[in-house]
Amino acid sequence: MAIGIAIVGASFGALATTAGLPWWIPVAMSFLTFAATSQFAMLAVITAGGGVIAGLVAGIVIHLRHIPYGLAVGDLYWKHWWTRLLGTHMLIDQSTAFALAAGEDRRRAKTAFWATSVILFIAWNVGTVIGVLAGGYIADPAVLGLDAAFPALLLALLVPALKDRGTLLAALVGAAIALATAPFLPTGIPVLLALAGLAVTWPRRGGTETAR
């Protein structure tokens, strides 16, 4: 997965430089943002003439999904002020998925979160630098099939959690919403709408009574 992340990072660096951006901009974005989807979205908006503000808005909207991520695994790094800042910065799809895959063992989950975050942070930034240096010689990740590998890996990590009936139902509803809206909405928005699937797990009044 780290190799795949590095190749995608190289693609980002190459696309940014061939679009006319100074070398330090994609390098700084990868180091300070560490958010592949929002970086590609911002790059697409800027190269299309949308301006920096529009690009920032697009990136922020796409990564609103990090709010539920933080609610799910925030306890793993919410101890000191500096771990809060660093953990929030390192919070990505993969680090969240690996932490959740550890189950109830919080020590193992914490190790998984930080190990995944650090390894992929290094891979992403090294890949970006390689892409900046290599220019337009980096292949499109879609041609290599890596765009399909990442979702497949995340799905494999989340399969154990789908044994719970409520979680499975929420996942199915969310997936249906995402698939239905993907052809009509910008990248990232269907994922946000898919969070509506969580509504099926909301406690219902009178559904459970406290035993006496």
pLDDT top residue among 86 and 195: 86
Taking only the tens place, the pLDDT of each residue in 157-193 is 667 777 778 888 888 998 899 899 888 887 667 877 8
Q: Does a structural domain hold residue 209?
A: no
Q: Over 50: is that where the pLDDT of 209 sits? A: no
Q: Which amino acid is at 138?
A: I
Taking only the tens place, the pLDDT of each residue in 56-66 is 877 787 777 78
| Residue 190, domain extent | 164-203
Q: Are residues 107 and 182 in the same domain?
A: no
Angstrom CA distances, 186 to 44, 62, 148, 207, stand at: 12, 9, 19, 38
Q: Where are the alpha helices (DSSP H) in the chain?
A: 2-18, 24-32, 36-47, 52-62, 66-73, 81-90, 93-101, 106-134, 141-144, 146-158, 165-181, 189-194
pLDDT winner (highest mean) among 14-18, 100-104, 106-110, 175-179? 106-110
Q: Over 90: is that where the pLDDT of 116 sits? A: yes
Q: Are residues 172 and 105 in the same domain?
A: no
Please state the rounded mean pLDDT for residues 8-13. Answer: 87
Q: Are residues 52 and 116 in the same domain?
A: yes
Kindly give the interhelix angle for 146-158 and 2-18, rounded to the nearest 10 degrees.
Answer: 140
Q: Are residues 94 and 177 in the same domain?
A: no
Q: Are residues 178 and 89 in the same domain?
A: no
Taking only the tens place, the pLDDT of each residue in 139-165 is 565 566 655 655 665 676 667 777 778
Distance between CA atoms of 62 and 186, rounded to whole angstroms? 9
pLDDT top residue among 91 and 38: 91
Q: Which residues are within 8 A (CB) of 159 and not within 5 positions of it... i.e. 6 or more apart?
A: none
Q: Are residues 101 and 153 in the same domain?
A: yes
Q: Are residues 154 and 193 in the same domain?
A: no
- Going by pLDDT thresholds of 50, 70 and 90, the confidence category of residue 53 is confident
Average pLDDT for the chain = 82
Q: Does a structural domain hold residue 212?
A: no
Q: Does a structural domain hold residue 208?
A: no
Q: DSSP 3-state assignment of 105?
A: coil
Q: What pLDDT, on a 0 to 100 scale, did the predictor assign at position 170?
A: 86
Q: What pLDDT, on a 0 to 100 scale, did the predictor assign at position 149?
A: 58
Q: What is the DSSP track for 49-76? A: T--HHHHHHHHHHHGGGHHHHHHHHGGG
Q: Are residues 169 and 110 in the same domain?
A: no
DSSP assignment, residue 23?
T
Two structure tokens written together for 82: 């500096």
Q: Are residues 110 and 155 in the same domain?
A: yes
pLDDT top residue among 105 and 158: 105
Q: Are residues 153 and 168 in the same domain?
A: no
- Going by pLDDT thresholds of 50, 70 and 90, the confidence category of residue 204 is low
Structural domains counted in the chain: 2
